[in-house]
Structure 1
Amino acid sequence: MRSPTVRHRRLGRELRRLREQTGLSPEVAAHQLGWSRSKLNRVENARLLPSAEDIGNACDLYGVDSSGKAGLIQLGKDAGKRGWWTAYSDVFTGSYIALESEATAIRMWEPTLVPGLLQSEDYAREIICATRPELASPDIDRRVDARMARKINLLGSHAPTVHALLDEGILHKPVGSPGLTARQLDHILQVAAWPNVTIQVLPLAAGAHGGMEGGFSVLSFDDEDPDVGYVEGPAGDVYVEATDQVRRLMLTFERILNICLSPEKSAELITAARSEHDLP
């Protein structure tokens, strides 16, 4: 199964809404469509992309007019289009990149390392080598290329807004050979100057805070699509879609933001930290 895109999620929600609007239970609708109950559930939850014929049959059952039917069939076709990330399907095995590529706003909190979207090539290579020591050199190169390709999403007229909160400890942590961290901090300062990117630092003096349990991201889309939270860890990826859980992540983000330095003060701190890494 390909990673669900925003359009795929939208299609599933719309088919569920139409079914519920007609008053049909999942069991009755699945029976009349000739589907299993499992298939209906996977379609409505964007775990399975239905064919144009499946969408048309569902629209007929739910009493959708011809224009609405055509629109949903087209939405299904658009949802099935291959994105740039599918060229790296061996690296991007989850849904995050598909969703990130269609987000209009990305909020992230990172307490331990520079987030992937903000990493320089050398820093990314060092992090991948440290966290995946079992990988051969060609596999490491492949992952570095994929991570650099993600950054294309930050450029252009349709680029999302990115608001990154970083723990100050990241700035002081030496990574790789002498000078590598300094170059990474230079890169952060360059990206922070882009009009769609805001970077703020949580100072060590802030003490205990709500983000100490780990990093996370929240992706926002247009008005039709709910936010999605994302937490990455050694045991795998966790996608947070329940409204109350996403709200909790957003509240945590706001609490961390309230004790971060301003973007201007953050840039000064990053610049000061950079000088620590100049010496061999």
Structure 2
Amino acid sequence: MASAASPTIRARRLRRELRRLRDLRGLTVDDVARSVGWHRAKVIRIEQGHSGIAADGLRKLLDLYDASSEERDALTSLARQARQKGWWSVYGDVLPDDYVGFEAEAESISTFQSLHIPGLLQTEEYARAIIHAGRTTASKDEVDRVIAARQARKILLTRDAPPKLWIILDEAAVRRVVGGAKIMSVQLGRIIEACQLPAVEVQVLPFAAGAHASMGGAFTILDYAEPALDPAIVYVDNDTNTLLLEEEQQVSRYKLVFDHLRAKALDPDQSADFLVRISAELQD
């Protein structure tokens, strides 16, 4: 569970390389579909990550693209790794998207949260309160599985080389009393403790800062150790939808937004003091 290797990342590398080889050969999606006897939609699904590729299909594409022996070996290995299961696969019923797979191998995670504490720093009691509020018809077993999945995610913060975690919290996220004063006070204490970790930075964006660059809501930027192989991605999510952004222009825009938020937020030391004050208010 603590391993950083992610089949989700390997699958992304594979589809990016297949697209690169197609472009290098000057072939269109329709050219590929006609040559290998597929519907063009299948080629698109493979290149966009909506469908996996079987070993026989991969061989057909590599033959068509006249791949070198080194490229064949590398891409065949990637495909084999992409078919493996990450630890999160056992929670597929409560972790419906690929986010955890992309998160697992990130070198840095930069997130802005406007309404709640991010999952990696949530206490179990806070998480239960959030889940009960959002899943009013969920059974106890379902809630327990969501909690177990969130607890498992936290392993990446204690591994030998944890990702750099930079969190910006809107004041609303730390002021909203989730689960009652006691649960919220403990939750704020968890964030204050995390501020002491060398790989974690927390900033609070106070109400007094006024309008800011992400009034539209929360997002997370994932950066990787080898950006040439694994370019950064952005996740924009809400309760009903998750959007993965990979285009360089889109990612650059969100990185600029994050820089603006960092500039407007309290610095990490001021933020820790701010959280201490709010926690003390809850205990009065």
Q: TM-score, normalised by structure 2?
A: 0.92
State the secondary structure of the residue aligned to 1:195.
coil
**Counterpart Cα distance in 1 of 2:235 and 2:181:** 33
> Aligned residue for 1:124?
127
Deviation at 1:4, TM superposition (A): 7.4
Q: Would you say the 8 A contact 2:204–2:271 is kept in 1? A: yes
**Counterpart Cα distance in 1 of 2:237 and 2:47:** 25
State the secondary structure of the residue aligned to 2:266.
coil
- Structure 1: any 5+ residue segments left out of the alignment? none
Q: Does 1:220 align with 2:246?
A: no
1:61-210 equivalences in 2 (<5 Å) = 61-210=64-213
Q: Would you say the 8 A contact 1:172–1:276 is kept in 2? A: no
Q: Would you say the 8 A contact 2:7–2:85 is kept in 1? A: no
Deviation at 1:81, TM superposition (A): 1.1
State the secondary structure of the residue aligned to 1:201.
strand
Match of 1:275 among 274, 280, 283: 280
**Counterpart Cα distance in 2 of 1:274 and 1:177:** 12
> Aligned residue for 2:3?
none
**Counterpart Cα distance in 2 of 1:143 and 1:136:** 11
CA-atom RMSD in angstroms: 1.6
- Structure 2: any 5+ residue segments left out of the alignment? 1-5
> Aligned residue for 2:242?
237
Match of 2:271 among 260, 266, 277: 266
Deviation at 1:177, TM superposition (A): 3.2
Q: Does 1:248 align with 2:253?
A: yes
Q: Would you say the 8 A contact 1:4–1:95 is kept in 2? A: no
2:18 counterpart letter in structure 1: L
Deviation at 1:252, TM superposition (A): 1.1
Q: TM-score, normalised by structure 1?
A: 0.94
Aligned residues: 277
Q: Would you say the 8 A contact 1:7–1:75 is kept in 2? A: yes
Deviations 1:126-158 (A, max 9, x none): 111111111122211111111111111222123
Percent sequence identity is: 37
